[in-house]
Amino acid sequence: MGVEGGVTAAERVLCREEDIAEGTARGFAAAPGGFTGLFAVKKEGRIHVYVNSCPHVGLPLDMMPHRFLDAKRQTIICSAHGARFRIADGICVTGPCIGEALEAVPHRIVEGQIVVPAAAGL
């Protein structure tokens, strides 16, 4: 997609990879002109990025900012009605949208920064 080693005009930087501690998540505002934010989770050293919209009725998952994981940090949880999603692939494993999935966002790491397509979430 982009130029190796550089962030292109078609991408945006979310944050530095090291800004997300292992087993935690962080939310990001919508891109300019958009309404839907993104969030990223770090699990076992890997970053997973999803659109912050629950497949149940489209609400943001975090009623409290950055609160995307259950107490044991094993699944992503939607605070609206309690749907739980696998961190690795965003599939809903329990709750009202079981079998549906969060929208995964492709990302790459550029000089320690998490970079996603600028249009992600639009």
> If binding is defined by CB under 6 A, does position 90 make contact with ligand FES?
no
Query: What are 12's two structure tokens?
Result: 């945006």
Would you give the binding string for ligand FES spanning residues 96-115, x where CB under 6 A is met? x-------------------
Would you give the binding string for ligand FES spanning residues 58-77, x where CB under 6 A is met? -x------------------
Helix, strand, coil proportions of the chain in percent (round to 5)? Answer: 0, 35, 60
CB of 82 to ligand FES, least distance (A): 6
Exactly one of 27, 95, 117, 121 binds ligand FES (CB under 6 A); which one?
95
Exactly one of 26, 42, 43, 56 binds ligand FES (CB under 6 A); which one?
56
CB 105 within 8 A of CB 50: yes
Residues 64, 57: Cα–Cα separation, whole Å: 18
- Give the amino acid at 91: I
Measured CA to CA in angstroms, residue 97 lies from 61, 88, 91 at distances of: 13, 17, 9
> If binding is defined by CB under 6 A, does position 57 make contact with ligand FES?
yes
Residue whose CB is less far from ligand FES, 37 or 117: 37
Helix or strand or coil: residue 74?
coil
Residues that bind ligand FES (CB under 6 A): 54, 56-57, 59, 78, 80-81, 83, 95-96
